Amino acid sequence: MASAPLILGFDTSAAHCAVALLSGDAVLASRAEAMTKGQAERLMPFLQEILSGAGIGWQDLSALGVGIGPGNFTGIRIAVSAARGLALGLEVPAVGVSGCEARAHLAPKGALCAIPAPRDMVYLCDPDNPSTPPQLMLRDTTQTTGLTLQPENSPQGLAEAIAAIAATRWQTTTLPPAPLYARAADAAPSRHAPPELLD
């Protein structure tokens, strides 16, 4: 009998680095570390630690799952870039999973989920279709309109959900993961003209 597929899921879309390793429906390993910066330096060693601790080699993986946001711009790019590079090198699929999809996977069916955003805002997920981009709104608005949001999930739980969703899609995924940005970047483009290039 064929062994269950091994799926490595990870997420750095917020102030954390979270990883989960699944074999079929079983969670072999799952960890998260809180960090406001340093995910780029920590992610690859963290993945290696998870695999080594479970006695799994990179070549044993069937697929990767990665959180694509929305969330921290830099964090999203770190995880997505790592997933795309690993998928290319290992010749395995990488599946992008949105934050809304991961939260909906953990919540009761039809529950209203939201992703924390800067400046006391949230990305409100569509309970009927979590795969659609969420709506950015003030957290106060959800309270004054009587919306009851699901409590925020742990980063470790999100990594497990990302891996679980990837396990259902990896055999049909054809496109590489791409960041999901639900708002414009905070940094504005320069108002100054670029320097003239001399031949």
Domain ranges of the chain: 6-99+153-169
Residues 6+ apart with CB under 8 A from 112: 124, 125, 127, 147, 148, 149, 150
Q: Is the peptide bond before 70 cis (omega within 30 degrees of 0)?
A: yes
Q: Are 118 and 137 in contact (CB under 8 A)?
A: no
DSSP bridge pairs for 21: 8, 29
The predicted pLDDT at position 1 comes to 37
Global pTM reads 0.90
The predicted pLDDT at position 98 comes to 98
DSSP tag of 137: E
From first to last of its 199 residues, what are the pLDDT tens digits of the chain? 358 999 999 999 999 999 999 999 999 999 999 999 999 999 999 999 999 999 999 999 999 999 999 999 999 999 999 999 999 999 999 999 999 999 999 999 999 999 999 999 999 999 999 999 999 999 888 878 888 899 999 999 999 999 999 999 999 999 999 999 976 555 455 566 666 655 5
Does domain 6-99+153-169 sit in CATH 3.30.420.40? yes
List, in sequence order, every beta strand (DSSP E) within 4-163.
Answer: 6-11, 16-23, 26-34, 63-67, 94-97, 114-117, 121-124, 135-138
